[in-house]
């Protein structure tokens, strides 16, 4: 009788990683900046740098970005709106409605960017300024946050909230500040408050309705008599939105006539001026702190 080998109650098998282990191993990448490993599970597979290195790169370009935005990006909304407004003189009635709606769109873009800039500066110690600014969207939570932080506040309170010096702070050191800089600072503090006030003047619900309408609408219309129980004034233009899940057609009508558009043009001018001056204040403080650090 042949000898029988004892049976191993726990047979040994080569280790084979399970699916989760394989996916996790494949989700590890090497940062091209610092050489460390980082997990791609919460990032785009094409990412080449880790989150800390990316944040450092955003901090590195912050000043250049803000300088360029103040000189060009913020000003662009006013430039486009004014050019559109002038073009109305040669346009037919239907074209004037289209032009008017595009002017309103420039107002919304300018308002969105001023809100984004304010919140980005306020959160600059938590995450890169560019992160907040570039990811901001006009939505109920973001607009509510902006309004809660700024509604009813004067220029000094707004600047305090951003940890920037107020006019009173500058006046206290007036003997050490050139007259030209003091005048520029006084004008900038006033401009910031005026621009924020022009954003606040439009009701939150109307602001969000317009923004949502422009995002969702596939078309404009100058008449609504083709829809049941819908009508609008001759000086209005409407956005048409199809909400498939609710099974309803929504319309957002807005008056587009010269006096109303002049109000929007003035608001765009003040909002873009506020964005530029807010950046000037912020960069001026950064430069001052840098010089003090070198002393």
Residues of the chain with pLDDT under 50: 1-2, 8, 10, 13, 15, 23-25, 295
pLDDT of residue 109: 94
The strand ranges marked E within the chain are 28-30, 37-39, 219-221, 236-243, 248-255
pLDDT of residue 23: 47
pLDDT of residue 7: 52
pLDDT of residue 288: 67
Which DSSP letter does residue 69 get?
A: I
pLDDT tens column, 26-45: 578 888 999 998 888 878 88
pLDDT of residue 176: 76
Instruction: Classify strands 37-39 and 236-243 as parallel, antiparallel or unpaired.
Output: unpaired
Measured distance between the N- and C-terminal CA atoms of the chain, rounded to whole angstroms:
96
pLDDT of residue 1: 47
Q: Which of helix, strand or coil describes residue 6?
A: coil
Which DSSP letter does residue 12 get?
A: -
pLDDT of residue 219: 83
Q: Which of helix, strand or coil describes residue 61?
A: helix
189 exposed, middle or buried (CB, 10 Å; 0-12, 13-18, 19+)? buried
pLDDT of residue 257: 87
């Amino acid at each position: 009788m042949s000898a029988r080998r004892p049976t191993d109650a726990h047979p040994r098998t080569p280790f084979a990683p399970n699916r989760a282990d394989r996916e996790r191993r494949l989700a590890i990448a090497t940062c091209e900046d610092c050489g460390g490993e980082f997990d791609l599970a919460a990032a785009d597979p094409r990412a080449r740098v880790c989150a800390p290195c990316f944040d450092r790169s955003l901090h590195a370009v912050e000043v250049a970005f803000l300088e360029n935005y103040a000189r060009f990006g913020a000003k662009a909304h006013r430039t486009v709106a004014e050019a559109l407004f002038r073009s109305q003189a040669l346009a037919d009635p239907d074209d004037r409605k289209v032009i008017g709606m595009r002017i309103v769109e420039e107002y919304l873009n300018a308002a969105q960017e001023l809100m984004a800039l304010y919140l980005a500066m306020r959160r600059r110690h938590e995450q890169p300024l560019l992160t907040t600014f570039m990811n901001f969207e006009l939505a109920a939570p973001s607009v509510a946050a902006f309004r809660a932080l700024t509604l009813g506040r004067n220029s000094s309170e707004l600047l305090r909230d951003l940890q920037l010096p107020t006019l009173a702070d500058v006046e206290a050191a007036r003997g050490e500040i050139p007259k030209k800089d003091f005048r520029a600072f006084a004008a900038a503090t006033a401009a910031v408050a005026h621009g924020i006030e022009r954003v606040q003047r439009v009701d939150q619900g109307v602001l969000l309705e317009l923004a949502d309408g422009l995002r969702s609408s596939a078309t404009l219309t100058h008449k609504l008599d083709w829809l049941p129980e819908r009508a609008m004034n001759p000086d209005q233009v409407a956005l048409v939105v199809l909400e498939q899940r609710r099974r309803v057609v929504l319309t957002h009508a807005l008056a587009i006539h010269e006096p109303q558009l002049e109000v929007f043009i003035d608001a765009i001018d003040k909002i873009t001026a506020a964005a530029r001056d807010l950046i000037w204040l912020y960069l001026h403080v950064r430069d001052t702190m840098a010089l003090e650090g070198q002393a």
